[in-house]
Amino acid sequence: FMITPLPGATELKAGSATRPFFGVQPAIVDNEGNPLEGATEGNLVITDSWPGQARTLFGDHERFEQTYFSTFKNMYFSG
């Protein structure tokens, strides 16, 4: 859960994302990776590492990088 309500700190509404969890820096980018501002549609990426982030796939680091970091340079994108 990277964007999630924190019970006791944020108002809860079932099925709704609220704010990024501690240490997570999300952004919305266009298909070229350029940041978009305001209420918009685009691709949700994480711009920096965060606590608890996976660092690799056992025995296949190249696949890990190809899967999560090749679409947008230096940004995590889960698809």
Map out the domains of the chain as residue ranges.
26-69
Neighbours of 9 (CB within 10 A): 9
The better pLDDT of the pair 61, 13 is held by 61
The better pLDDT of the pair 63, 20 is held by 63
pTM, entire model: 0.80
Model confidence at 1: pLDDT above 80: no
Can you tell me the mean pLDDT for 42-55? 92
Query: If you write DSSP's letter for every residue of 50-76 in order, what string do you get?
Result: -TT-----TT-HHHHHHHHHSSSTTSB
- Give the total residue count for the chain: 79
- Cα(30)–Cα(54) distance, rounded to whole angstroms? 25
